[in-house]
A and B are shown apart, each in its own frame.
Chain A
Amino acid sequence: MKTMMVILLSAMLTDNFVLSKFMGICPFLGVSKKLDSATGMGLAVTFVMICATCVTYPIYHGILVPNGLEYLNTVVFILVIALFVQLVETALKKTIPSLYKSLGVYLPLITTNCAVLGVTVLNIDNGYTFLQSVVNALGGGLGFMLSLVIFSGVRKKMEYADIPETFKGVPATLIAASIVSVSFMGFSGLFN
């Protein structure tokens, strides 16, 4: 139980996917303008991460390893992820059309979100058990959501700030991200 908590919290805080591993920067910069789309994106990514982990783990250990095909993991994992993203997309379109619209092009792009492929590969590389993998995916997804939500608040304030012409848009956003990242450095060493 204790190791589970450590895995969950370190995936969320100390090894935050966005702010310390640089995975999923595109949606982080793209969807974090509004609080509700940030939350929706975070939930969608968390869901895809957990589902992808639940499916890729048995595939890796049940099919690829016994047949000596470990090197195919990239190809297989990315196809599983693409499948789940399609699923989420269809489900959202039917159930919450407003959220579907505000996520826009970033929804199909979850497929190419490094964080999702990253979490499935990291689970294998770190030699986690099935349960630990799922917890790691949950922590990673929640951490992703946390950074998106925090950053959407920062960006809301930034809209009223008087920024020099050259820094408007992406540069200012990146520098703000750097400051948020500094604040997450405060968590490092928490679980050693």
Chain B
Amino acid sequence: MAENKSLGKELTKGIIKENPTLVMLLGMCPTLAVTTQAMNGIGMGLATTFVLLGSNIVVSALRKVIPDKVRIPAFIVIIASFVTLIGFLLEGFVPSLYDSLGIYLTLITVNCIIFGRAEMFASKNNVVASACDAIGMGIGFTLALFLMGSVREIIGAGQWLGINIPVAHDNPMLIFIMPAGGFFTLGMIIAIVNKLKNRKPPAEIKCGSCENCALAGKCEKDGEKA
């Protein structure tokens, strides 16, 4: 029972609490590059999830075999193999997505999220936990990309998943599809996440002596004045 609970935790932590893109700020390049459309965001997210799942499982299964000194090249080769695999699969079955992701599909190899999870999690935990971790992180990454893609597509092109949005379609703000808009949207989303994260009630202010305190004039803690 306790084990199930911790597996559930591994699965869900990546979605919100440790969201790889919006909270841990990893994998920025694909987040900015492919999110001109919501659909591309989902495709990129799922492709990354596949690679993440595969590499986490293999790395964790081989964690006792790979010597510590050569672990980085070993991880990279494992990740690159899975990227080659997903490249073939997408080219064969979803050629339109393959074309629109273009070079960024190859660049999944150097996505910090995948390498980070291999190094930080999969090389220290068993296969099942690593798989759960990968799925959670993958879903979190996909959701973040979908969110970015939706915002940019709705404001920048007046469409959502290819469907015209009534009011927004009249005057689309093209800049949101351009690189500058990508930086701006991501900045705004991270600011909102920060705002939500800091919403907890502020901790009680511990007073030293009131003489040096800038807030002394407004302070309500009269009784504690030293």
Which residues on A are within 8 Å of B, measured CB to CB? 19-26, 29, 71-72, 74-75, 78-79, 82, 108-109, 111-114, 117-118, 121-122, 125, 165-167, 169-175, 177-179, 181-182, 185
B4 to chain A minimum Cβ distance, whole angstroms, is 34
Decide if B29 is an interface residue (CB 8 Å cutoff): yes
Q: List CB contacts (< 8 Å) of B174-194 with chain A.
A: 175, 178-184, 186-188, 190-191, 194
For A22, what are the chain B residues with a Cβ–Cβ distance below 8 Å? 28-30, 32-33, 179, 182
Would B184 and A25 count as touching, CB distance under 8 A? no
Q: A75-B81, A111-B76 are in contact. Are A181 and B110 (CB under 8 A)?
A: no
Partner of A113 from the list B76, B80, B110, B182 (CB cut-off 8 Å) is B110
B25 to chain A minimum Cβ distance, whole angstroms, is 6
Partner of B187 from the list A108, A113, A118, A175 (CB cut-off 8 Å) is A175
B50 to chain A minimum Cβ distance, whole angstroms, is 15
Would A167 and B191 count as touching, CB distance under 8 A? yes
Supply 8 A–B pairs (Cβ within 8 Å), ascending by A: A22-B30, A25-B32, A121-B107, A167-B187, A174-B190, A175-B183, A178-B183, A185-B179
Partner of B77 from the list A75, A179, A182 (CB cut-off 8 Å) is A75
For B29, what are the chain A residues with a Cβ–Cβ distance below 8 Å? 22-26, 114
Which residues on B are within 8 Å of A, measured CB to CB? 25, 28-30, 32-33, 72-73, 76-77, 80-81, 83-84, 87-88, 103, 106-107, 109-112, 115, 175, 178-184, 186-188, 190-191, 194-195, 198
Would B76 and A179 count as touching, CB distance under 8 A? no
Give complex CA distance A146, B178 in Å: 20
Give complex CA distance A121, B30 in Å: 16
Would B188 and A171 count as touching, CB distance under 8 A? yes
A77 to chain B minimum Cβ distance, whole angstroms, is 9
Give complex CA distance A72, B87 in Å: 11
Would B179 and A20 count as touching, CB distance under 8 A? yes
Would B110 and A117 count as touching, CB distance under 8 A? yes
**Chain A interface SS verdict (over half):** helix
For A82, what are the chain B residues with a Cβ–Cβ distance below 8 Å? 72-73, 76
For A179, what are the chain B residues with a Cβ–Cβ distance below 8 Å? 180
Give complex CA distance A25, B30 in Å: 10
Would A114 and B107 count as touching, CB distance under 8 A? yes
For A175, what are the chain B residues with a Cβ–Cβ distance below 8 Å? 183-184, 187-188
Which one of A74, A171, A172 has the greatest number of beta carbons of chain B within 10 Å? A74
Would A26 and B84 count as touching, CB distance under 8 A? no
Give complex CA distance A31, B149 in Å: 27
Give complex CA distance A117, B103 in Å: 10
Residue of B nearest to A168 (CB): B194
For A118, what are the chain B residues with a Cβ–Cβ distance below 8 Å? 103, 107
Would B73 and A79 count as touching, CB distance under 8 A? yes
Partner of B110 from the list A75, A114, A166, A171 (CB cut-off 8 Å) is A114
Partner of A178 from the list B72, B88, B107, B180 (CB cut-off 8 Å) is B180
Give complex CA distance A19, B150 in Å: 21
Would A181 and B194 count as touching, CB distance under 8 A? no
Q: A78-B76, A82-B73 are in contact. Are A71 and B84 (CB under 8 A)?
A: yes
For B72, what are the chain A residues with a Cβ–Cβ distance below 8 Å? 82, 108, 111
Q: A25-B29, A170-B187, A170-B190 are in contact. Are A117 and B107 (CB under 8 A)?
A: yes
Would B106 and A117 count as touching, CB distance under 8 A? yes
Q: A71-B84, A113-B110 are in contact. Are A177 and B76 (CB under 8 A)?
A: no
Would B84 and A171 count as touching, CB distance under 8 A? no
B134 to chain A minimum Cβ distance, whole angstroms, is 18
For B87, what are the chain A residues with a Cβ–Cβ distance below 8 Å? 71, 74
Would B180 and A185 count as touching, CB distance under 8 A? yes
